[in-house]
Amino acid sequence: MLSAAPTTPAEYWDKYKPYRGEGDQPRPAAGAFDWTGLPGHGPGAELLGTPVTALDLGPAEGENAAFLARAGVEVTAVDFSAVQVERARRFWDGEPRLTFVHAEACDWLDQEDRRFDAIYSTWGAVWFTDPEELFPRITARLAQGGMFGFSHREPVIGQYGAQEMGGKWLEGRESELRVLRWQYTAEQWTDLLKRHGFTSIRAEVLPNPDPAALGTLLVTAQAPGSDQHPRMAA
């Protein structure tokens, strides 16, 4: 069993989940592709074009991956947390086009030789991995004309770059464990993506319907060196 508070980044994510109650939960709905965490708010999977294959980096409960798989896309979903991968496999057991993999994103990308028509991350691994390490690996695994998309919480003004995470489950162990997330403004993400060769970059903040709450920063871009449209399904 895990200790009361995590001592490694992997254990941190093993303990983290969207709160819906204690104990086993019914699987979530997968009726739409969600970038914002607010059902019915914002665009959907159309931002990825119509890919034949897709890679989800940090799928958590796996709703977006399941939605794409049910639409006919071959989806590989890679998550750092063994607990979250086991839960997602249980939720979506029997979905023939969906594979969940337990691995750290950069390590897995280093070992993989496939290219994907779309790579995406919704409040997932792109938010929690140094883009200088991750982006070159993503460009190596995107097909010609492929789409890259990701979202994360709108950053607090002045809190840019690597920021330390908290969490009630740390319980006094903050000094023993540093979990970071990388968050930037739309303009900063655009500059980073341009530097790594991406084209057709769009980055914007989608306001939260609650004016007192932070919105979602949503970014899409095409594979480096490509000015053609995303690969279309046959």
And the tokens for 42?
């914002």
**Per-residue model confidence as pLDDT tens digits over 152-186:** 998 887 877 666 766 554 555 444 566 778 899 99
Beta strands 116-122 and 53-57 are parallel
**Per-residue model confidence as pLDDT tens digits over 202-226:** 999 999 999 999 999 999 999 987 5
Split into its structural domains, the chain has a count of: 1
* CATH number for position 88: 3.40.50.150
pTM above 0.75, yes or no: yes
**Residue 147 domain-assigned (yes or no):** yes
Q: What is the mean pLDDT of each run of 10 residues along the chain (234 residues)?
A: 56 58 72 91 95 96 96 97 92 96 97 97 93 97 96 84 62 58 93 96 95 95 69 36
Can you list the positions of beta strands (E) in the chain?
53-57, 74-79, 98-102, 116-122, 142-153, 161-164, 180-183, 199-206, 216-222
Tell me how far CA of residue 156 lies from CA of 13, 163, 180, 217, in angstroms. Answer: 22, 11, 15, 11
**Residue 189 domain-assigned (yes or no):** yes
**Residue 120 domain-assigned (yes or no):** yes
**Residue 75 domain-assigned (yes or no):** yes
**Residue 3 domain-assigned (yes or no):** no
Q: Comparing C-alpha atoms, which of 147, 115, 162, 159 is closest to residue 219?
A: 147
Please give the helix or strand (H or E) that residue 64 lies within, else none: helix 63-70
**Residue 27 domain-assigned (yes or no):** no
Q: Which residue segment(s) compose the domain that 55 sits in? A: 36-222
